[in-house]
Chain A
Amino acid sequence: MNQILGVAADEWRYWRRSHLALGGAIVFLILVISTSLLNMLRIDAETHARSQNQTQAEDTFRAQPDRHPHRMVHYGHYVFRAPAPLAIFDPGLDFVTGQSIFLEGHRQNTAMFAESSSSADFGGLSYLSPALIYQLFAPLIIILLAHGAIVREREAGMLVSLLSLGLTGSRLLLGKGLALLSFIVILLLPLVLTCLFAVARGETFSAVLSLFGAYLAYLLLWGVIALWFAAIVHKRGTALAALTGLWFVMTLILPSVAVNIASNKAPVAGKIETDLALLAEQRGLGDGHNANDPAFAQLRAELLAKYGVQRLEDLPMNFRGLVATSAEEKLTTVLNEYAEKRMAGEVHQEQILINHAWLTPSLAISFVSRSLAGTDLAHYHRFQKEAEALRFSFVQGLNRAHAEKVSYEDDINRNKSEASWQRVRVSAANWQVLGAYQFQTASLSDRISTSLFSLRILLIWLLAFLCLFLWSGWRIKP
């Protein structure tokens, strides 16, 4: 153990005296700290703005005066998705998905890009997140530091001197590995600090620990890869060239190729074609605004038979409100089918992408990171589903008020006189059907369960290269 610690201590001394490595590490730390701060400020501002907008939207809806209930269906309502606490570290898909949805009757609107501040970002420069820096640049710093670990001694003919002291190749490599591990822990300190801010904003310690563990495994993997190369090649230049080439392919080329493969293998229908298909299907469902639409003839017959009356006016409820309710239900079923299909397509694309993590650990860590941070596709889909459930609930609540609190006769004659117009207005108390909404990050066990497949791939990568690392230590000879 003393030998391993001795080698580790000397490696640190070498790094301290090697200005290039030290410089690289300082640049990295400055970059990650500044990005974390900027991201933190941005997320804080967004959280505040969205929370305020949500409250304002709810207050505005509930403060509407007495109206015809169906006008409120079309008046609509906004829901905003507050960022997850760990979005300050990894905004994940939040950068490319909308964060607010306009909820209204007869439609499922897509999420919109809400931040007006985004308009200033013509270069996409604000997309640099701490997570991205860890995923892309930390491996480069590790390569810079570790590529010469054993090959430096080999080139200088020092291996024979070191091994003749009774030091084994494995201990030499473990010593270098220990030094690198401690360096990696230092590299992860800004992550810890950033995550502590997330804890202050409601995140759990366990989630932060899980994220730390995942990044430790990822950076350790790069360290092990770098040391393995350094132990088997004979020239330092070869090690550096091979490792930077590997970094380039794994972090930049393969993820980009994988995205293209996923979008080609599992294409998802675009908005225009989806809207056209929906429109065609919607025609068959009937127009919920028109109680005389033949699509509702059966409903009419059933109701008249059920209540034993001959006229719609004699029904105990407003037939137009019942038609609106029925139409909304049928339409929502269809809309949900389309939405489920689109989400399934996106999940399929994501699965194809995740499978490419067998080729590059960068994809594995990016999925693990997003899942644990609560900024992945699953969270985005859940936001859409929750928003839809809220929409359906308040629209049907209003339709119920339409059916129960407005008489059919008044309703069909509402435009005939001011008095009948006044009679179809229902009390604003009915607008309380709108429930309060706040998006919550999934529980840690759910997040871990979502990330398990990618996490397993990442650990298999690490295990495989740890074996190669230990094997190369055993093979080190002068």
Chain B
Amino acid sequence: MFGCNLEHRATSVSQLLLGFNVLMLQADSLHVVRSNKAVLNDISFTVQRGEVYALLGGNGAGKSTTLLSFLGFLLPSQGRVLVKDKDVGADVMAARRAISYLPESASLYEHLNAIENLQYFLGLAGVDVTLGDMDTVLDRVSLAPDARKRNLRDYSKGMRQKVAIALAMLRNSDILLLDEPTSGLDPNAIDELHRIIRGLADAGKAILMVTHDVYGACQVADRIGLLHSGNLVGEFVAQGDDRIDTNAVHTAFASKANSSSLLSNPPSSNPQLSKV
């Protein structure tokens, strides 16, 4: 615990040095309509450099739509989305170049092995890396060396997710968008992934992740936005060295999202909801 506090303080210093508090992502009164149905209503939030922001919500809350808006695949019907202070609609390609996107199920080619996938996707992104760089990052995500030359059709979901994360890391973008990154992973893999995400944020990346995993979000996020039926109904902020209180988020999530099946523990009676 003591070590954790020290580490967090050190990170705060590095954050100062790296010029944190720069807005990397910004949703400004974002409205999105899909098939004549309002999917996002007046959503506003920001993600800063070095910050992990988790959008928490049930199915159909509009989480993935938010990510697709930042990538310019869905344009706002009202409001705007900004990436590095630039309107995404004005230059979609610039936004996409600045972002590494990790979809829910790692979208990689099954006929290729891990190295080939990395080479191919990085080549398309115009990122030049060596085999050594790839091995280093694959080591960091703990993908066994003997698995790297096997085609992905033989991989478990966790292994694929590791390759996808390695890809996001190797792209070395300032911003990461993660769509349900822990979905389908075993507990060890989830812990490992959280450690990596936290490390990336501490290295200065701005990370927006969408999830319905309350515990995971509380463990890794600096801020959590609670999304319900396309509305941002609350936001939780980590205070100092403390992580966001899981029970507080539980309570708000259960009452707003009406998705008690997602919760394994009863909600706390003392929610630390900063904004509803």
Q: List A residues at the B interface (Cβ < 8 Å).
A: 2-3, 6-7, 10, 13-14, 17-18, 156-158, 160-168, 477-478
Residues of B within 8 A of A13 (CB): 111-112, 116
18 contacts across the A-B interface (CB closer than 8 A): A2-B123, A3-B124, A3-B126, A6-B120, A6-B123, A10-B112, A13-B111, A17-B111, A156-B110, A160-B71, A160-B103, A161-B103, A162-B121, A166-B96, A166-B125, A167-B124, A168-B93, A478-B73
Cα–Cα, bound, A165→B68 (Å): 13
Partner of A160, one of B68, B108, B112, B126: B68
* Cβ–Cβ contact B107 & A161, under 8 A: yes
Q: A14-B111, A18-B111, A478-B68 are in contact. Are A165 and B73 (CB under 8 A)?
A: no
Distance in angstroms from B121 CB to nearest chain A CB is 6
CA distance A389 to B198 in the complex (A): 94
Tell me, in angstroms, the Cα distance from A168 to B73 when the chains sit together. Answer: 11
Q: How far is the CB of A415 from chain B (nearest CB, A)?
A: 91
Residues of B within 8 A of A156 (CB): 107, 110
A156 to B104: give the CA distance in the assembly, Å.
12
Contact B73 A166 (CB under 8 A): no
**A2-B126, A7-B124 as given contacts; A157 in contact with B97, CB under 8 Å:** no
* Partner of B124 from A14, A157, A160, A162 at Cβ < 8 Å: A162
Q: Which residue of A lies closest to B104 (CB)?
A: A157
Count the B residues whose beta carbon is within 8 Å of the partner chain — how many? 23
Contacts of B97 in A (CB 8 A): 166
Chain A residues lying within 8 Å of B14, measured Cβ to Cβ, are none
- The answer to whether A164 and B126 have CB atoms under 8 Å apart is no
B155 within 8 A of A: no
Contacts of B68 in A (CB 8 A): 160, 478
Cβ of B53 within 8 Å of any chain A Cβ, yes or no, is no
Partner-A contacts on B (CB < 8 A): 68, 71, 73, 93, 96-97, 99, 101, 103, 105, 107-112, 116, 120-121, 123-126
Smallest CB gap from B177: residue in A: A164
Tell me, in angstroms, the Cα distance from A2 to B103 when the chains sit together.
Answer: 24
Compute how far the CA of A157 lies from the CA of B110 in the bound complex, rounded to whole angstroms: 12
CA distance A161 to B107 in the complex (A): 6
Say whether, besides A163-B96, A165-B125, A166-B125, A157 and B101 are in contact (CB < 8 Å): no
Closest to A17 in B: B111
Instruction: Given A156-B110, A166-B124, output 10 extra A-B contacts at Cβ < 8 Å.
Output: A3-B126, A157-B103, A158-B108, A160-B68, A163-B73, A164-B96, A165-B96, A166-B97, A166-B126, A478-B68
CA distance A163 to B99 in the complex (A): 12
Query: Quick one: which of B93, B101, B123 contacts A161, CB cutoff 8 A?
Result: B101
The distance from the CB of B33 to the nearest CB of chain A, in whole angstroms, is 16
Determine the residue in chain B with the shortest Cβ distance to A6: B123
A212 to chain B, nearest CB (A): 32
Which residue of chain B has the shortest Cβ distance to A4 in the bound complex? B124
